[in-house]
Structure 1
Amino acid sequence: MIIQIEDNDGDFLLIEAADYLPDWANPETTENRVFIFNQHLHIIPNTVVPTDSPLKLIEAIRLVSQNPELTQSSPEIELAIMKRIGEYPQKIKESSHTAILKLPVEIAAILTLKPSLLAPIVSTYCNLDVLDAKHCKGIKLEDCISTQIKFTKYLYAMLMQSELPKYIRHNNAVKEKKAQLGLKVMCGYRIITSRLSEDIYHTPEYKKFLNSLTKNGYFKDNLEGSLEYSQLLEKAMAYFLDMECSISLNACNVINEIKSSDEFNKTIALLKQKSDTEMLEEDDDAWLNVSPDELNEFLNTHYGKNVKLKNKDPLTPHILTSELTDFLKETSNFDGIEHNRKENTKDSIDFNSDDFVNCIEKLLNMVSNQSITDSDYSSDDDDDGEDCVENNMDLSCEAQDVELASKLKSIQNDDVEFNIFKNLSQSMKDEGMLGPASTILRQIGVKKCDILDSDDDD
Structure 2
Amino acid sequence: MTELQTVTNEDTVHALFFSSLSNSDSVYWETMCKEINLTLKTLATGYIWHRDEFKVCLPILNDENCALPMHLIASTCFGDNIEDEWFIVYLIMELSKKYSELIIQIIDNDGDFMLIEAADYLPKWANPETTENRVFIFKNEINLISPDLASFKNKLSVNDAIELLVKFPEKTRALPEIKNTIITRIGSYPEKIKENIQRVIVRLPLEIAAVLKLKPALIAPIVTTYCNHDIIDVKSVGNIDLSDYVYVEVNFTKCLYAMLMHSKLIRSVKHKISAEAKRDELGFKITFGFQMLMKTAAKDIFCSKEFIKYKNNLKENGYFRNNIEHSKEYNYLLEKAKNYFFEMECPVSTYVSNNVSSIMATGEFLKCKESLKEHNKTDSSLNEDNDDWLSIEPSQLNNMLNNRYGNSVKFNNDDIVTPETITTKLTDFLKQSSDFEGVDTKEKNDLESKNINFDANEFINCLEKMMDLVSVDMHSSSETDSDFEDNLTDAELDEELANKLKSYDVNRSDGNKVMFNLTQSIKEEGVSGPSSNLLSSIGINKTDLLDSDDD
TM-score (norm 1): 0.71
- Is the Cα–Cα contact under 8 Å of residues 305 and 442 in structure 1 kept in the other structure? no
Q: Distance in 2 between matches of 1:15 and 1:260?
A: 47
Which residue does 1:294 correspond to in 2? 396
Which residue does 1:254 correspond to in 2? 355
- Is the Cα–Cα contact under 8 Å of residues 103 and 144 in structure 1 kept in the other structure? yes
Deviation at 1:282, TM superposition (A): 0.9
- Is the Cα–Cα contact under 8 Å of residues 221 and 348 in structure 2 kept in the other structure? yes
**Matching residue within 503, 520, 532 for 1:438:** 532
- Is the Cα–Cα contact under 8 Å of residues 117 and 251 in structure 1 kept in the other structure? yes
Partner secondary structure for residue 171 of structure 2: helix
* 2:218 is the alignment partner of 1:117: yes
Which residue does 2:144 correspond to in 1? 43
Which residue does 2:346 correspond to in 1? 245
How many pairs does the alignment contain? 391
- Is the Cα–Cα contact under 8 Å of residues 245 and 377 in structure 2 kept in the other structure? no
Q: Distance in 1 between matches of 2:192 and 2:435?
A: 34
Deviation at 1:165, TM superposition (A): 1.4
Q: Distance in 2 between matches of 1:236 and 1:312?
A: 70
Deviation at 1:192, TM superposition (A): 0.9
Partner secondary structure for residue 268 of structure 2: helix
Which residue does 2:244 correspond to in 1? 143
Q: Distance in 1 between matches of 2:424 and 2:177?
A: 32
Q: Distance in 1 between matches of 2:411 and 2:442?
A: 23
Q: Distance in 1 between matches of 2:154 and 2:206?
A: 57
Deviation at 1:240, TM superposition (A): 2.5
**Matching residue within 308, 325, 335 for 2:428:** 325
Normalized per residue, the structure richer in helix is 1
Give the letter for the 1:196 counterpart.
A
Q: Distance in 2 between matches of 1:214 and 1:54?
A: 32
* 2:371 is the alignment partner of 1:270: yes
Q: Distance in 1 between matches of 2:180 and 2:430?
A: 27
Q: RMSD of the alignment, in Å?
A: 3.8
**Matching residue within 253, 266, 269 for 1:165:** 266
- Is the Cα–Cα contact under 8 Å of residues 212 and 219 in structure 2 kept in the other structure? yes
Give the letter for the 1:321 counterpart.
T
Larger CA deviation: 186-195 vs 106-115 = 106-115
Which residue does 1:377 correspond to in 2? none
- Cα–Cα, structure 1 residues 328 and 116, in superposed 2: closer, same or farther, change >3 Å? farther
* Per-residue deviation, residues 133-176 of structure 1 (Å, max 9, x unmatched): 02334112111111100101111111111122121598357752
- Cα–Cα, structure 1 residues 197 and 426, in superposed 2: closer, same or farther, change >3 Å? closer
* Per-residue deviation, residues 388-421 of structure 1 (Å, max 9, x unmatched): xxxxxxxxxxxxxxxxxxx9xx999999877656
- Is the Cα–Cα contact under 8 Å of residues 307 and 346 in structure 2 kept in the other structure? yes
Partner secondary structure for residue 265 of structure 1: helix
- Cα–Cα, structure 1 residues 57 and 160, in superposed 2: closer, same or farther, change >3 Å? same
Which residue does 1:358 correspond to in 2? none
Deviation at 1:286, TM superposition (A): 1.7
* 2:98 is the alignment partner of 1:4: no
Name the structure, 1 or 2, with higher relative contact order (CA <8 Å, separation 6+). 1
Q: Residues 273-352 of structure 1 correspond to what in structure 2 (within 5 A)?
A: 273-274=374-375, 279-303=381-405, 306-307=408-409, 309=411, 313=415, 317-318=420-421, 321-322=424-425, 325-326=428-429, 328-333=431-436, 336-337=437-438, 339-340=440-441
Q: Residues 100-111 of structure 1 correspond to what in structure 2 (within 5 A)?
A: 100-111=201-212
Q: Residues 196-235 of structure 1 correspond to what in structure 2 (within 5 A)?
A: 196-220=297-321, 224=325, 232-235=333-336
Q: Distance in 1 between matches of 2:334 and 2:157?
A: 24
Give the letter for the 1:280 counterpart.
L
Q: Distance in 2 between matches of 1:441 and 1:12?
A: 29
Larger CA deviation: 200-209 vs 167-176 = 167-176
* Per-residue deviation, residues 78-112 of structure 1 (Å, max 9, x unmatched): 23323321333333322221001111221112212
Q: Distance in 1 between matches of 2:346 and 2:522?
A: 46
Which residue does 2:192 correspond to in 1? 91
- Is the Cα–Cα contact under 8 Å of residues 247 and 377 in structure 2 kept in the other structure? no
- Is the Cα–Cα contact under 8 Å of residues 293 and 448 in structure 1 kept in the other structure? no
- Cα–Cα, structure 1 residues 243 and 104, in superposed 2: closer, same or farther, change >3 Å? same
- Is the Cα–Cα contact under 8 Å of residues 105 and 136 in structure 2 kept in the other structure? yes
Give the letter for the 1:295 counterpart.
L
Deviation at 1:440, TM superposition (A): 1.4
Identical positions, percent: 43
* Per-residue deviation, residues 232-287 of structure 1 (Å, max 9, x unmatched): 54443333223322222221222222222333223223333355687001111122
Q: Distance in 1 between matches of 2:322 and 2:156?
A: 27
Partner secondary structure for residue 150 of structure 1: strand
- Is the Cα–Cα contact under 8 Å of residues 305 and 444 in structure 1 kept in the other structure? no
Q: Distance in 2 between matches of 1:308 and 1:65?
A: 48
- Is the Cα–Cα contact under 8 Å of residues 300 and 445 in structure 1 kept in the other structure? no
- Cα–Cα, structure 1 residues 67 and 248, in superposed 2: closer, same or farther, change >3 Å? same
Q: Distance in 2 between matches of 1:304 and 1:412?
A: 38
Larger CA deviation: 93-102 vs 71-80 = 71-80
Partner secondary structure for residue 102 of structure 1: strand
Q: Distance in 1 between matches of 2:416 and 2:180?
A: 33
- Cα–Cα, structure 1 residues 428 and 55, in superposed 2: closer, same or farther, change >3 Å? same
Q: Distance in 1 between matches of 2:392 and 2:526?
A: 14
- Is the Cα–Cα contact under 8 Å of residues 106 and 136 in structure 2 kept in the other structure? no
Deviation at 1:11, TM superposition (A): 4.3
Which residue does 1:346 correspond to in 2? none
**Matching residue within 127, 130, 146 for 2:231:** 130
- Cα–Cα, structure 1 residues 325 and 162, in superposed 2: closer, same or farther, change >3 Å? same
Q: Distance in 1 between matches of 2:442 and 2:343?
A: 43
Give the letter for the 1:436 counterpart.
P
